[in-house]
A and B are shown apart, each in its own frame.
Chain A
Amino acid sequence: MKLRILFFAISALLLSNCTQKLVRVKPYERGNLAHSVMSPERDGLLTAMTQHAYFSREASFGGGGVGGGGCGCN
């Protein structure tokens, strides 16, 4: 049992070194993300209406937006 726990602990330690490099999109690879259709707020009116409907139901404000789209420049 101890050996198994030790094995999984070492595995997690070894593999954690590469997770960031494997998952993150490099700044120079964001061509597809920079496309206008990838923006969640490409239509201002639709965004405002959707947010209003969402927050009305959730009875809260703020918390919207996901930092995944766009070119990520500067």
Chain B
Amino acid sequence: MKTYFKTMAFILMTASAGVSSSFAAEASVGAAMPGLGTLLPGSSLPKTSGKVVLVDFWASWCAPCKLSFVTLQRLHQKYASKGLVIIGVGVDEDAGKFQTFASKHPAGFTLVHDTQQSAAAYFNPPTMPSSYLVDKSGKIRFIHQGFRGEKTEAEYVHEIEQMLAE
């Protein structure tokens, strides 16, 4: 009986530890942005070293994401020449839906497809859409949950200009 309990306790502890550790750490303010190349293998990514980066998680089934694309396009046109890099990470499980959305909403900034949802698993966005603003040193400075039109756009502008000026 004691051997049974010891064995079950060992299995439960191992299983619990295994499940807990299998989930990657959530990217948070102050943390270093991970190398997107390792999270998005095979994707064509722009250089981000020394630049202000906006990583935006979107999906074709997300209505606010469609609205945010207009804002992101404006930000790209205004700040790309000043050192802003926007990377839109699509998390659709269906590659066709990703392609259809990308073709219907052409963007001047980089769009990549997170086919394995590995980047999404790492960043663990709290809602859709979620965006992460990274400063020139590679540190996550701001996290935006959701998109609320002009209010969010004003926040983006303030934060991007602040980081570009650093």
Partner of A72, one of B16, B20, B124, B128: B128
Enumerate A26-40 residues with CB–CB distance to B below 8 Å: 26-31, 34-35
Query: How many interface residues does A have (CB within 8 Å)?
Result: 22
Residues of B within 8 A of A17 (CB): 16, 19-20
Minimum CB–CB distance for A32 against chain B, Å: 9
Write out the residue numbers on chain A whose beta carbons fall within 8 Å of the beta carbon of B64: 73-74
Give the total number of A-B pairs whose CB atoms are below 8 A apart: 75
B120 closest partner in A (C-beta): A28
A26 to B122, CA, bound (A): 12
Complex: how many Å from CA A20 to CA B127? 16
Q: Is there a chain B Cβ closer than 8 Å to A22's Cβ?
A: yes
Is B25 an interface position by the 8 A CB rule? no
Chain A interfacial positions (CB closer than 8 Å to B): 3, 7, 10-11, 14-15, 17-18, 21-22, 26-31, 34-35, 71-74
Give the A-binding residues of B (Cβ under 8 A): 5, 8-9, 12-13, 15-16, 19-20, 23, 57, 59, 61-65, 91-94, 97, 117, 120-121, 124-130, 145-148
- Beyond the given pairs A14-B13, A72-B127, A72-B128, 7 more chain A to chain B contacts, judged by CB atoms under 8 angstroms and listed by A's residue number, are A7-B8, A17-B19, A21-B20, A27-B126, A27-B130, A73-B62, A73-B65
